[in-house]
Amino acid sequence: MVDKINSFTLTNGLKVLLKEIHSSPIISHWVWYRVGSRNEVEGKTGISHWAEHMQFKGTPKFPQGVLDRAISRDGGMWNAFTHLDWTTFFETVPAEKINLPLELESDRMNNSIYDPLEVESERTVIISEREGNENEPLFRLEEAIQLAAFKFHPYRNEVLGSIADLQSIQRDDLFNHYKTYYNPQNAVVAVAGDFETEKMLELIKDRYTDIPGNPVPKTTIRIDQILHQEEQIEVHGPGETTYLELTWRAPAANSDDFFALTVLDSYLTGPTSLNMFGGGGISNKTSRLYKSLVEKELAVSVVGSLQATIDPFLYNITITVRPDRRWQDVLSTVDAEIDKILQSPISQSDIDRAVKQARALFTYGSENITNQAFWLGYSEMFDDYEWFLNYVDHLKSSTPSRLLEAAQRLLPSNTRVRGVFLPERGEA
Amino acid sequence: MINHSHKINIKSLPGSHDISRKVLPNGITLLARSNFQSASVVLSGYIGAGSLFDPKEKLGLAHFTSLALMRGTKNRDFQQIFENLESIGASLGFGASVHNTNLGGRCLADDLPLVVDILSDCIVNPIFPEGYIEKLRAQLMTSLAIRAQDTAEMASLEFDKLLFENHPYGLPEDGYPETIREISRTDLLQFHSNYYRPDNMVIVIVGAIDHESAFDLFEKTFGQWQNPLSPLKVQLSPVVPPKETIQQHIELPGKSQSDLVMGTLGPRRHAPEYLAASIGNNILGQFGMMGRIGDSVREKAGLAYYASTSLNAWIEAGSWEVSAGVNPSNINKAADLIIKELERFSSEPVSQGELEDSKSNFIGRLPLSLESNSGVANAVLNLERFNLGLDYLQRYPSLIEAITPEDILKAAKKYIDPQKLIIVSAGSQKMSK
């Protein structure tokens, strides 16, 4: 994980990160754009995600279907993701086939068509994607929580967008979004795998240097105040299962508090894995909240979620309530446990354990070159790749007193949103 | 003959030159492959104690038993088991499928002796503490309640039931609420003593350890475990293809999207036409953006976020399925488009171009699927499970290259009759927008 990473910036502003790994004859190539739901305005929510879909609809040189066919033909793996702060596209291919992804990604950075007919057929595909998500109680609960947690910040909106916006966004909106944000000055190319750095840099220059770089308009974002009184929301829907979700404002990824909360979360709900492509996870049966909720038969599961973001986003604890219990009893138990870490420090051995777990997870994840390339670019989107290199050391530098102080600032109950999904049994 | 576009070094793939295999005196089969590039070790394996042994009124027993293994042993209680594992960042888990109870684990290489010790303790010495049985039961019941609200799972459940009537393949390994309620601690103890035995256990070890040390470690921890005297007997009823199209809808109120699962039987893993069907399936609903069906249902008609096929080949039989998530008002439209593709697929040979694409994809993706320890462990376990031989991956490219459009058409015709399909949807048909 601490192997050498080389960083370059091309004349058009494109940042390039390269990491040689010679364990398998494979290369993983990623292009990251600094655009996501964070850059969206009301009326156009979901546009970043939709634009990501349109990037598979073809350029004059590579018409629709050619991209995925060409990569799949070589036995490669490819996909794209849109999140709060970023949109990313990747291809992992046999090393000798690396020219293909370089050609495809550099081409669609600038030459995608956005055919109006394709925009229309994709509209229903995306609405269908959203409808699939709406089937899930936790999607509906989380969407409601985000709206309650932020009044102004675009993080309040679902990455998929609202149905109303998905029905009204037009081809030119999408095309303008593309032309504004997909450009070398707003992008990072990250490549890991079986190559020589100098040669790879030349290949990248050949493909990307001629794309003009333009400054990206600054996104004006109104940061919300921290809540001063707990927001309480309820979502109702079919089912038999009650979920309780507690959500606090999380620190930005580049702050020391982020690492403090990572350790606290590990203590409360178990370690979180940054492995997106294999490498597994570690169970959380000895975490504080599992012991007090699942072992004590109040809940059937508890998970925590903290995401690395540019601006403060949210830290969630999500609990699946046992069918024979009341969510109010679960809540008071969670409150009692959180009170403990607000009153007295957790031990040094709890910190050591979180560090050991994080190290093990990185070791498992580093077996996959796609993971390694993902980590490179990912950390650039909210900080820089040093963030990733120093991740374990940052966790390690936590002290019990520092964590106590951070917990007191970050986790008071009056600053949170309390969301409950209540099932409506037997509704038909 | 190997096409020049598929330049993979077949020697670099796991094979008889670097996989070691050993059968312990008590019958446990061990397979190991070293990889010192990463400091970790992956364990993957199974015991032949699957849901096919579940009594009908106690369906879910194999699954329940597998999850209860880690709740306490003669030597360690639940807290000790997980304290040991989690504090070193290791993982270990069990679950059941129709034929097997599966196990998987991962740890840093230095910690392997401890993890193998816990593994053997859970497999050989579980005590199934009463209190934990009830906790587990509540968790299982909640999972089933969540399953009952999941459109994709409910459609799939009903599909299996209709396709594999009176066969364990048609029944869910996790059971039903009424069968989970019937299971007692005595049932778990009995299931464990009847079906957990060394002579039907296989374990694969991949990672930063040489095979001799790995085998010694397992021999030391599992060597004393004895087989019960009675041999295992299984008699499964034969599987028959659908005689006519059966269409079924499961109404789940309040859902924005409906899930559609349709299809028929597919080849079992040992069927001679398995690889031809597999390549054909890739063309039909996987390659690129979900193959022909993805192109028709998603790309052209814009009806679904996903529409793809899967070929599931097991020991006794298999299924050939198409699944799609669609707006409730588009269920019939999507099903019609899928049937059209099935008609074409089972009446015309695939084009040479499509075939070359998929062959290239199958061979080219080998290195990617085998880059990590867990990828290798899965592949090696399959070699053993389906008795393919340790050099199977070396032979694989030429087996794939030999497949012709006629082979695929023959396989398609053998299994797919577009007039005789099982078609199941789940969602809110009554409140469609």
Residues B146 and B114 in one domain: yes
User: What are the chain A neighbours of B143 within 8 Å (beta carbons)?
Assistant: 300
Residue A91 — very low, low, confident or very high, per pLDDT cuts 50/70/90?
A: very high
Which of B142, B254, B375 lies nearest to residue A300, judging by beta carbons?
A: B142
Residues B194 and B304 in one domain: no
pLDDT value at position A426? 55
Taking an 8 Å cut-off on Cβ atoms, the answer to whether B364 and A360 are in contact is no
Mean pLDDT for A187-213 is: 97
**pLDDT by residue for chain B (433 residues), tens digit each?**
333 345 567 778 999 999 999 999 999 999 999 999 889 999 999 999 999 999 999 999 999 999 999 999 999 999 999 999 999 999 999 999 999 999 999 999 999 999 999 999 999 999 999 999 999 999 999 999 999 999 999 999 999 999 999 899 999 999 999 999 999 999 999 999 999 999 999 999 999 999 999 999 999 999 999 998 877 888 888 999 999 999 999 999 999 999 999 999 999 999 999 999 999 999 999 998 899 999 999 989 999 999 999 999 999 999 999 999 999 999 999 999 999 999 999 999 999 999 999 999 999 999 899 999 999 999 999 999 999 999 999 999 999 999 999 999 999 999 999 999 999 999 998 644 3
Q: Closest CB to B305: pick one of A125, A358, A361.
A: A125
- Of A129, A356, A367, Cβ closest to residue B89: A356
Q: Mapped to the 3 state alphabet, what secondary structure does B131-179 carry?
A: HHHHHHHHHHHHHHHHHCCCHHHHHHHHHHHHHCCCCHHHCCCCCCHHH
Which residues from A are below 8 Å from B357, CB to CB? 69, 72-73
In a shared domain, residues B252 and B208: no
Provide the pLDDT for residue B10: 76
Question: What distance in Å separates the CA atoms of residue A64 and residue A56, rounded to the nearest whole number?
Answer: 6
Instruction: Express each pLDDT in A299-322 by its tens digit.
Output: 999 999 999 999 999 999 999 999
Q: Are residues B318 and B417 in the same domain?
A: yes
Give the tens place of pLDDT for each residue, A374-408.
Answer: 999 999 999 999 998 999 999 999 999 999 999 99
Tell me which chain B residues have a C-beta less than 8 angstroms from the C-beta of A94: 7-8, 364, 367-368
Is residue A43 less than 8 Å (CB to CB) from chain B? no
Q: Which of B86, B253, B372 sits opposite A285 (nearest CB)?
A: B86
- Quick check: A1 pLDDT over 50? no
pLDDT at A3: 67
Residues B217 and B286 in one domain: no
Q: Which residue has the higher pLDDT, A139 or A23?
A: A139
Q: Spell out the residues 6+ positions from residue B198 whose beta carbon is closer than 8 angstroms to its own.
A: B24, B26, B27, B28, B222, B225, B226, B227
Taking a contact as any Cβ pair under 8 Å apart, which residues of chain A between 117 and 176 contact chain B?
A: 120-132, 134-135, 137
Helices A348-365 and A400-410: crossing angle in degrees, nearest 10, is: 80
* Chain B contact for A271 (CB, 8 A cutoff): yes
CATH classification for the domain delimited by A6-208, as one of 3.40.50.2300, 3.40.50.300, 3.30.300.30, 3.30.830.10: 3.30.830.10
Q: Which of A21, A27, A128 to mutate to test the interface with B (most CBs of B within 10 A)?
A: A128
Q: How many alpha carbons lie under 13 Å from residue A209 in its C-beta half-sphere?
A: 10
Q: Are residues B390 and B269 in the same domain?
A: yes
Q: Where in chain A is the domain with CATH 3.30.830.10?
A: 6-208, 231-423
> Pick from B190, B222, B254: which residue ends a domain?
B222
Beta-bridge mates of residue B21: B31
Domain that holds residue B73: 35-222
State the average pLDDT over residues A237-260. Answer: 96
| Per-residue DSSP letter, A74 | T
Report whether pLDDT(A214) > 60: yes
Judge residue A69's burial from the number of C-beta atoms within 10 Å of its C-beta, 0-12 exposed, 13-18 middle, 19 or more buried: middle
**Residue A311 confidence (pLDDT):** 97
CB contact under 8 A, B106 and A364: yes
Query: Strands (DSSP E) along A105-263, which ranges?
Result: 187-193, 231-238, 243-249
Provide the CATH topology of domain A231-423. Cytochrome Bc1 Complex; Chain A, domain 1 (3.30.830)
**pLDDT greater at residue A426 or residue A199:** A199
For residue A22, pLDDT over 60 is answered with yes
Name every chain B residue with its beta carbon within 8 A of the beta carbon of A286: 79, 82-83, 86-87
Residues B357, B358, B364, B370, Cα dihedral to 10°: 160
Clarify whether residues B365 and B320 are in a common domain. Answer: yes
pLDDT band at residue A277, thresholds of 50, 70 and 90?
A: confident
> Domain check: are B181 and B67 in the same one?
yes
Residue B13 falls inside a structural domain: no
Judge if B118 and B266 occupy the same domain.
Answer: no
In this prediction, residues A120-143 reach a mean pLDDT of 95
Residue A354 contacts B, CB cutoff 8 Å: no
CB pairs under 8 A between A and B: 200
Establish if B234 belongs to a structural domain: no
Q: Among B254, B299, B364, whose Cβ lies nearest the Cβ of A75? A: B364
Domain-located, residue B92: yes
pLDDT computed for residue B5 by the predictor:
45
Average pLDDT over residues A34-53: 97
Instruction: Examine residue B6 and state whether it is found in any structural domain, yes or no.
Output: no
Domain count, chain B: 2
Q: What is the CATH number of the domain that holds B208?
A: 3.30.830.10
pLDDT over 70 percentage in chain A: 99
Task: Tell me whether residues A368 and B288 touch, CB distance under 8 A.
Answer: no
Is B301 near chain A, with CB under 8 Å?
Answer: yes
* Domain contains B293: yes
Indicate if B299 and B397 belong to the same structural domain.
Answer: yes
Q: What's the N-to-C CA distance of chain A in angstroms? A: 53
Averaged pLDDT, A72-77: 90
pTM for this structure? 0.94
